[in-house]
Amino acid sequence: MPTILTKNFNSCAPKNPHLSLIPSIRRSPVISLHPHHRRRRLLSGEMLTCGRFLSSSAASSTPSLSPFRNLTLSLLRRPHLRLLSSSATASAAAAVEPDTKGGAGGGAGKPQWKAAIDFKWIRENTDAVAANIRDRNSAANLDLVLQLYDEYLALQKEVERLRAERNAVANKMKGKLEPSVRQALVEEGKSLKEGLIALEEDLVQLTDKLQLEAQSIPNTTHPDVPVGGEESSVVRKEVGSQRNFNFTIRDHLQLGKELDLFDFDAAAEVSGSKFYYLKNEAVLLEMALVNWAITEVSKKGFTPLITPEIVRSSVVEKCGFQPRAQNTQVYSIDNSDQCLIGTAEIPVGGIHMDSILPDSDLPRKYVAYSHCFRTEAGAAGAATRGLYRVHQFSKVEMFVFCRPEESDKCHEELITIEEELYASLGLHFKTLDMATGDLGAPAYRKFDIEAWMPGLDRYGEISSASNCTDYQSRRLGIRFRPSPADPPLANAKKGKGSSGPTQFVHTLNATAVAVPRLIICILENFQQEDGTVVIPEPLRPFMGGLEVLSPKTK
């Protein structure tokens, strides 16, 4: 049975080169995620990326024993470097902590995957990164990241020095030597080799600590995003107005009971609280909402998908969610490295994991249907009653992979599609530019739509649209190869000069339909005094022409 093992799925971010935490790959050496390239050696200031950090030749190379070896061990053993035992970094470590009970494998404190993070850029833009962490109320420990990076560079420099000494000894042995001299060089080379192996092991441990800590740093933030908590969010658009009722209105729970649409009591006995059965016309209404949304969004060039609903924990983490932290929203499966999805954003984000997309295929757009599962840890009170906050529901999600220069435009396209869908249903809603404190780690910018729910007497969130720039793609390993500005030379060799270096794509996601929230809106906004509910016209063809929901005759 699933156990609750973090991120709020409702919060989900550089176009600005001065604020970019993880800038374009063009600023750093081209990094290949292909397994054949995973053991490449890092030079000073180079980007740490997926896979091991030492070349295969490094494992057999040899320099001299040095006092730096003892210094390195001392640094690694200092208490402030024990990332998993520090309360200040516990939440960051939880994001990538291995599942010791499941099949993920790996030792404590060792990341199971590595994002492509430009540490040199972080160090050169410390003030901007620190301000972004503060504005987003992130638990990331930038001071520790910078300290670990400096220690990494120092240790790497020592490893390079020992390699040079080892090579010098090897060169001395090429000529004719007295036996005693040769034997002395052999002994020195052996000592250098043993010392280098030990230091390289330390370097691997240090890079793991650095990577684990740095992966908790959130995405950069669009300069126009308001700073503060959710209350600081700004309304950017309002559509329609609240309906005036001349009778006593019912909430969706009362309407559902009278129309015989839900059964929460039986679901509580079968599954627990916050589960429900849909009955009668509510089943048709759910299917109508799903089919209508997929039909409308597909017309705009989105490819329909039905996704897996169980995914690997590492994919959840790479998308920016935390399946192992306290108060997580993720259901993890015992004795496995798998989780139930909380949104189709996760399996769609992973569909092109560790791949290079052709430039001609971008932007690539998907509209995905799935069930979603959320623990809703900490959710309580009247605001969560009924269908508003549940453990399982159906959702239609939009997802886009695009070039970096297109992501702002794609973000506007997604929020426009959402607004058109809800306006066509006749709903009253407002679109908000969400403040920094509500963005979550992946989002560079996020627009939420809140619709008026008269029975609940408040606005409730029905969708969000997030631009995650290259935060997710750097973790998922999704790149594209730009088309060359000029045609290749006639005498150019195959594969040479035909294209530039790869870049990370930008990813965006947006809700087309979160079924339970829209059922609330439809029942409460279109109820009539006689207890009937009028079905919005765009949904009627998907409900067999049904126009009105009526109370059942007893």
Closest CA to 142 of 170, 124, 123, 156: 123
Does 78 participate in catalysis according to the annotation? no
Does 517 participate in catalysis according to the annotation? yes
Distance, CA of 365 to CA of 57 (rounded, Å): 42
Say how many C-beta atoms besides its own lie within 10 A of residue 128's C-beta. Answer: 18
Distance, CA of 314 to CA of 319 (rounded, Å): 9
| DSSP letter assigned to residue 64 | -
Catalytic residue among 40, 41, 389, 474: 389
Distance, CA of 352 to CA of 161 (rounded, Å): 40
Distance, CA of 327 to CA of 431 (rounded, Å): 28
Task: Indicate the burial class of 56 (C-beta count within 10 angstroms; 0-12, 13-18, 19 or more).
Answer: exposed
CB 9 within 8 A of CB 321: yes
DSSP letter string, 148-201 = HHHHHHHHHHHHHHHHHHHHHHHHHTTS---HHHHHHHHHHHHHHHHHHHHHHH
Catalytic residue among 374, 445, 475, 479: 374
Distance, CA of 221 to CA of 15 (rounded, Å): 9
Closest CA to 414 of 443, 391, 435: 443
Does 324 participate in catalysis according to the annotation? no
Which structure tokens are listed for 64?
Answer: 């001299």
Catalytic residue among 20, 61, 216, 464: 464
Q: List 452's β-bridge partners, or say none.
A: 459
User: CB neighbours of 484 closer than 8 A, spacing ≥ 6?
Assistant: 497, 498, 499, 500
Give the chain's length: 554
| DSSP letter assigned to residue 393 | E
Catalytic residue among 166, 475, 479, 517: 517
Does 39 participate in catalysis according to the annotation? no
Query: Distance from first CA to last CA of the chain, Å, rounded?
Result: 39
Q: List 458's β-bridge partners, or say none.
A: 453
Catalytic residue among 160, 406, 461, 481: 461
What is the maximum alpha-carbon separation in the chain?
Answer: 109
Angle (nearest 5°) at CA 12 between 479 and 422: 105
Distance, CA of 247 to CA of 101 (rounded, Å): 57
Rounded to the nearest angstrom, the gap between the alpha carbon of residue 115 and the centroid of all alpha carbons in its chain is 11
Does 136 participate in catalysis according to the annotation? no
Angle (nearest 5°) at CA 44 between 42 and 49: 40
Q: List 252's β-bridge partners, or say none.
A: none
Distance, CA of 222 to CA of 506 (rounded, Å): 14
Active-site positions?
374, 389, 461, 464, 517
